[in-house]
Structure 1
């Protein structure tokens, strides 16, 4: 599995990154309204899941503050984009573990299953009717799993890209030929070698050094 991954994650609400929030825990925070409700048992269950992904637990106040960021017009757009990006990545994770032609790295399988199970599960932390915050908990799970999944998902997406190119060359659908992880690695190496050759050619000349103009166009 790759230690590094190319996908740059867009930001989620900044409150999720805060170890603690300033100010007293005022009772009014317990009832934020707008369909947003966090129950103690649901949060404990959610934090146990985050622990399986080696992520620090979240406090209820962080989630309420994150919800308020999503309601705020100045921060809503980039936070919503971050949620949508992670939902798209969750689709890629599910495709990856269900694709029989891709041999996923062993260390990626468990966190991938955690993500897919939560996305489709019935034990949601944040009610789907919560204004603006729906699917925030799904995005948090993807975010928590990403250090373990990012490199493998990027590899899988590149595999899909090169497999599609191979299908185009063959003139047949993707499912009508064998294209394994080893085939992807070989195709990736060949592509990298070709790009390196093109770069070298662009910086040099096939003519011997010091050769003057040998061709004349009339």
Structure 2
């Protein structure tokens, strides 16, 4: 029973490129070696992610460039905020992030914080310089989403309720609160589905006169 959080629209990853400017993100050439290296890095984070290819990256780049600038920046910003959520989840002493999540987050942040040296698209390119960061996070997100959403919900509970005690006791209080909310939700569902009176015909109907 998590609190509701707006989810960014999905990247149009399934679009296929046209014939012009294939394997280019703006003026930047997506070399086969760089794309292969990016793909290997991504699959170390999430082995279940789809295969990366230059044509689809080029299509995403053109799609992003065609958006109004404010819309494109908002689109990127919605996703880049997830990096800070993951960074907070990794560093929060009140949250016991799993070892697997820490490994994935460390790899994502290492790419995001590294600069241009090993990145698929140089960060200095306006808008497009963030596309590979966003794409890497988008492909890795399914492996982190459940824990990240739990952590976001825990933070909201901690801010609102200010539970006392150790980190473990705060997490236990959060779990109890969510289980109680789930039980209440199920109770209301049962009540709404039940009938307060028999809708059949009474055996001795009232008569007038």
TM-score over 0.5 (shorter chain):
yes
**Which residue of 1 is the match for residue 138 of structure 2?**
143
Question: In the alignment, what sits opposite 1:213?
Answer: none
Q: Do 1:37 and 1:127's aligned partners in 2 also have CA atoms closer than 8 Å?
A: no
Distance in 2, matches of 1:48 and 1:133, equals: 21
Instruction: Determine if the alignment matches structure 1 residue 115 to structure 2 residue 103.
Output: no
Give the deviation of 1:86 after TM superposition: 1.6
Residue 41 in structure 1 maps to residue 33 in structure 2: yes
Describe the superposition over 1:39-85 as per-residue Cα deviations: whole angstroms up to 9, x where unpaired.
443322211112211223322222222111111147x7665544222
TM-score by length of 2: 0.71
Superimposed CA distance per residue, residues 114-148 of structure 1 (whole angstroms, 9 cap, x where no aligned partner): 22222112322111122331211111111111111
**Counterpart in the other structure of 1:189:** 179
TM-score by length of 1: 0.69
- Which of 45, 50, 69 does residue 56 from structure 1 map onto? 50
Please state whether the residue corresponding to 2:144 is helix, strand or coil: helix
* 5+ residue gaps, structure 1: 171-175, 210-218
Contact preservation (8 Å) 1:7, 1:154: no
Indicate the residue corresponding to 1:66 in structure 2: 60
Structure 2 counterpart of 1:164? 159
- Aligned-residue Cα RMSD (Å) equals 3.4
Query: Is 1:11–1:79's contact at 8 Å kept on the other side of the alignment?
Result: no
